[in-house]
Chain A
Amino acid sequence: MSTAQRIIRFTLNGEAIAASVAPHENVVELLQRLGLHGARESCGQGLCGCCTVRVDGLAVSGCLYFAVQLDATCVDTIEQPFGEDGLDEVQQAFAQCGAFQCGFCTPGFVLMSRELLAANPEPSEDEIRHYLSGNLCRCAAYPEIIRAVQLAARMRRARS
Chain B
Amino acid sequence: MTPFELIEPRTLDEALRLLDPADPGVRPAGGCTALMLMMKAGMLVPTRLVSLRRIEPRYRDIVASDDAITIGANASLASIEHSARVRDELPALARTLRTLANVRVRNVATLGGNLAHADPHMDLPPLLAALDASVQVQGRGSSRYASIEQLISGYYETTLAGDELIVAVRIPKRAARGCAYRKVTTRSADDWPALGIAVALEREGERVRAARVVLGAAVDRPTRLLAAEAALQGTRLDETSARRAADAAADEARPSEDARGSAAYKRELIRVHVRRTLLEAWCDEPVGAVRQ
Which residues does A use to contact B, with CB under 8 Å?
1-3, 22-24, 26, 44-47, 49, 52, 58-61, 63-66, 68-69, 112, 115, 130-131, 133-135
Contacts and interface: CB of A to CB of B under 8 A. Distances in A.
Interface stretch (B102-110, B178-186, B274-282): B102-110
B226 to A, nearest CB: 36
B289 interface: no
Nearest to B1: A24
Contact of B105 (A1, A61, A130, A131): A61
A37 B36 CA distance: 22
A69 B105 CA distance: 16
Contacts of A115: 103
A60 B32 CA distance: 12
Interface in B211-247: none
A64 B103 contact: no
A60 B3 contact: no
Contacts, number: 77
- Chain A interface SS verdict (over half): mixed
B40 interface: yes
Contacts of B107: 58-60
B103 A112 contact: yes
Contacts of A46: 33, 37, 101-102, 104-105
Given A47-B102, A64-B108, A115-B103, 14 more contacts: A1-B7, A3-B3, A23-B6, A24-B1, A26-B36, A46-B105, A49-B102, A59-B103, A59-B104, A61-B104, A66-B32, A69-B6, A69-B53, A130-B98
A2 B5 CA distance: 5
Nearest to A24: B1
A72 to B, nearest CB: 9
Interface string B1-25: 1011111100000000000000000
A22 B78 CA distance: 29
B153 interface: no
Contact of A24 (B3, B7, B98): B3
Interface in B177-199: 189-190
Contacts of A69: 6, 8, 32, 51, 53
Shortest 9 CB-CB contacts between residues of A and residues of B: A134-B102, A3-B3, A24-B1, A58-B107, A61-B104, A64-B36, A23-B6, A3-B5, A64-B33
B75 to A, nearest CB: 14
Nearest to A115: B103
Given A26-B36, A64-B32, A49 B5 contact: no
Interface string B122-157: 000000000000000000000000000000000000
B190 A47 contact: yes
A35 to B, nearest CB: 23
Contacts of B189: 133
A23 B5 contact: yes
Contacts of B37: 45-46, 64
Contacts of B36: 26, 63-66
A68 B108 CA distance: 15
B190 A68 contact: no
A60 B1 CA distance: 22
Contacts of B105: 46, 61, 64, 134
Contacts of A63: 36
Nearest to A57: B107
A132 to B, nearest CB: 9
Contacts of A59: 103-104, 107
Contacts of B51: 69
Interface in B30-46: 32-33, 36-37, 39-40
